[in-house]
Chain A
Amino acid sequence: MSARSLGRAPGVGGRWLLLAVGVVVALLPFLWMLRTALGPAQSILGLSANPLPSSVSFHAFSVVNSAGGFTRAMITGIVVSLVIVALQLLTSIPAAYAFSWLTFRGRDALFGVVLATLLIPPQVVAVPNYVTVSALGFANTRVGLALPFAASAVAIFLLRQYMRTIPPAVLEAARLDGLGTWRTIRKVVVPLTMPAIATVATFSFLMSFNEYLWPLLEARSPDIATPPLALARLNNASGGVPDFAVLSAAALIISLPTLIVFALAQRRLVAGISGSGVDA
């Protein structure tokens, strides 16, 4: 069969057109958010779809700032997410090492169980977890926000996949040098697994910071609201007459940390996902 008869892939022009449309659509909500947040107050009655705001003002940001608790929600969100990342790495790295390099009875079955937990929808476990966290006395606390997420099956899985590619000779050398299990992990395994650890940490931060359902159940008092929760409350509190400039400013603020983390980690993420450097 002649390959030519099947036609050619779209040329450079077609590719750029597709990508240009894709980029515009991907960025539009962000740009719309930015444009509205920097503009004057936008009530329902005076909506304008001008691409540029009629005047630039930081009025919306000062309203959000004084709207009580938004700054605190940001701090809560960032601290809780960082704690979750740290705990997940602390629990997952040793477990991933055991699953990838130690031989013990029932290992594969146990790993199968860990994988199977990935199939349990978060909505299913939310209510029993609320009962557990309450029983431990952490309901409506910041500790309670992080507690259920201290271990992660995804993290264990991704780290194990990566650790399996460590050459056995390296671990053998570590053993001959008299390194015990923990020191092998610290001095040999962790440095060699850094790309995967960076990937796991980034995803884990994004997931934790954006988590909505669990804080909705757990954080009853506004004092410990996480950013998405604070925004949802601000949105609901505005009732039928929202000032979209204020809501956009709040949305922009809570998007910033994840955007920054994402921008910083982007290159590494691609490397971690594809298992190779970003090809030139």
Chain B
Amino acid sequence: MRDGTERRARSRVADRAWRGRGVEGTTRAPGWRPLPLLVPALLWLTVFTVGPAVVSAIAAGTDKTLISPDFHWVGLDNADTAVHDPSLSHAVRNTLLYCVITVIPAVVIGLGLALAASRLSRGRTAIAFALFLPASANLVAMSVVFAYMFNDQPGSLANTVIGWFGAAPKDWLGDTSTALPVVALVGLWRLTSFIFVVYLAGLTSIPTSVYEAAAVDGVRGWARVRRITLPLLTPSTVFVVVFSTILTLQTFETVSVLTQGGPLDSSTTLVYYMYQVGFTGSFRIGYASMLALLMFVVIALLGMGGALLGRRARRRLSPDETVSDVDPMRLERAVTA
């Protein structure tokens, strides 16, 4: 299993077989045979994912509320409402700000930590475990803890720390200028850990022979990071940026526990606004569905763009080119976990 060469050879055979180019021994199945294997999974995905998405898209064209059973077809009225909804544009602005101040630092820090950890000869497992922890944490639990750390009282951890520098206590979650940044800090804390995991996996899959070749050519230090490691990590980077952006666009739990969107909607994110529209006040589920549909379009575009970029990045690293030792299968797997 650990023999890289053998594994690469095998995966290439598997790849050819998978593409149906007739490697001897490919299991050929008559038409009905895959059905029992596929039906449970596909049935479930249809009933609980594809179907609901379609229903939601239809509901987006109605004025349905959760209070009244009556509803009417209103066509694109909800889209029109969305365009002119100041609360929505406010929530979108908050969400974009949240994305920028979370994703960019998380990628930089996560990459730095992974590069540092991957070169350790001792203590790597323990350090990796500690850095993995935030990614596995329960967001509600951590939101409760962060709410305590960022309490408005003089004795809270955050206020004690800024007190060392002579600053007056802040009402972190009750102030329009700090509420969103504190929520984003929870996101950053967690996202960095996740990005670290992906990059560490990506680094693990770079064969040492690449570095040995680089050492022969006298490439080391930052030059090695810049000219060899980073290019080889491109698939991981594409995945990390796209996936993190999609994740942060969907921020909900932290807002729900920490601020409920307040104060004065200063920390309302897109999904939290959607929740407010559909499940509080007048329960306008039709309009909420339109918001969901718009979000789906954005996420789908991001996802497909990411998949395309990722494939191009992997193709550039294909075995026939300069970097001959990288197994695209492995990178793909590192990137998709």
Task: Tell me the A residues contacting B by CB distance below 8 Å.
Answer: 3-4, 6-9, 15-16, 18-19, 22-23, 25-27, 29-30, 32-33, 36, 42, 44-49, 90-92, 94-95, 97-105, 107, 110, 113-114, 116-125, 127-129, 131-132, 147-151, 153, 156-158, 161-162, 164-169, 171-172, 175, 181, 199, 203, 206, 209-210, 212-213, 217, 227-229, 231-232, 235, 244, 247-248, 250-252, 254-255, 258-259, 261-263, 266-267, 269-270, 272-279
Q: How many B residues are at the interface, by size bracket?
A: 35 or more
Q: Are A124 and B222 in touch, CB under 8 angstroms?
A: no
Residue A259 contacts which of B116, B136, B220, B222 (CB distance < 8 angstroms)?
Answer: B136
B residues touching A (Cβ–Cβ < 8 Å)? Answer: 1-2, 4, 7, 10-11, 13-15, 17-18, 20, 23-29, 31, 33-34, 36-38, 40-45, 47-53, 55-56, 59, 109, 112-113, 116-117, 119-120, 125, 127-134, 136-142, 144-149, 151, 153-157, 159-161, 189, 193, 197-198, 200-202, 204-205, 218-226, 250, 252-253, 256-257, 271, 274-275, 278-279, 285, 288-289, 292-293, 295-296, 299-300, 303-304, 327, 329-330, 332-334, 336-337
List chain A residues, Cβ under 8 A from B303. Answer: 118-119
Chain A residues, Cβ within 8 Å of B120: 15, 19
Once the chains bind, are B220 and A3 in contact (CB under 8 Å)? yes
Are A98 and B34 CB-contacts (below 8 A) given A132-B52, A150-B44, A209-B138?
Answer: yes
Beta-carbon contact of A161 and B133 below 8 Å: no
- Residues from chain B with a CB closer than 8 A to the CB of A42 are 148
Q: A26-B134, A45-B153, A123-B274 are in contact. Are A95 and B42 (CB under 8 A)?
A: yes
On whether the beta carbons of B37 and A97 are closer than 8 Å, the reply is yes
Set of chain B residues within 8 Å of A161, measured between Cβ atoms: 329, 332-333, 336
**In the bound complex, what is the Cα–Cα distance between A91 and B39 (angstroms)?**
9
Cβ-neighbour of B45 out of A15, A22, A114, A129 (below 8 A): A114
Which residue of chain B has the shortest Cβ distance to A213 in the bound complex? B252
Is there contact, CB below 8 Å, between A121 and B299? yes
Q: Are B138 and A258 in contact (CB under 8 A)?
A: yes
Which residues of chain A are within 8 angstroms of B125 by Cβ–Cβ distance?
A: 266-267, 278
Nearest opposing residue in chain B for A247, CB measure = B144
A23 engages B52 (CB within 8 Å): no
| Contact residues in B for A166 (Cβ distance below 8 Å) | 14
Q: Chain B CB within 10 Å — which of A9, A32, A209, A231 has the most?
A: A9
Contact A123 B149 (CB under 8 A): no
Q: How long is the Cα–Cα vector from A83 to B211 in the complex, in angstroms?
A: 45
Chain B residues contacting A113 (CB-CB under 8 Å) are 50
Known contacts A124-B296, A132-B47; is-contact A274 B56 (Cβ 8 Å) = no
Interface centre among A127, A156, A266 (most CB of B within 10 A): A127
User: In the assembly, what is the distance between CA of A272 and CA of B198, in Å?
Assistant: 12
The answer to whether A244 touches B139, judged by C-beta atoms less than 8 angstroms apart, is no
Q: Chain A residues with Cβ under 8 A from B151's Cβ?
A: 44, 47, 244
Residues of chain B within 8 A of A92, CB atoms compared: 41
Q: In the complex the two chains form, is A119's CB within 8 Å of B44's CB?
A: no
Q: Among B18, B146, B225, B332, which residue has its beta carbon within 8 angstroms of that of A29? A: B146
Which of chain B's residues have a CB closer than 8 A to the CB of A30? 133, 137
Assess the A235–B274 pair: CB atoms within 8 A.
no
Q: Across the interface, do A101 and B27 meet the contact criterion of CB distance under 8 Å?
A: yes
Which B residues touch A116, using CB under 8 A? 300
In the complex, are the beta carbons of A95 and B41 less than 8 A apart? yes
Closest to A244 in B: B148
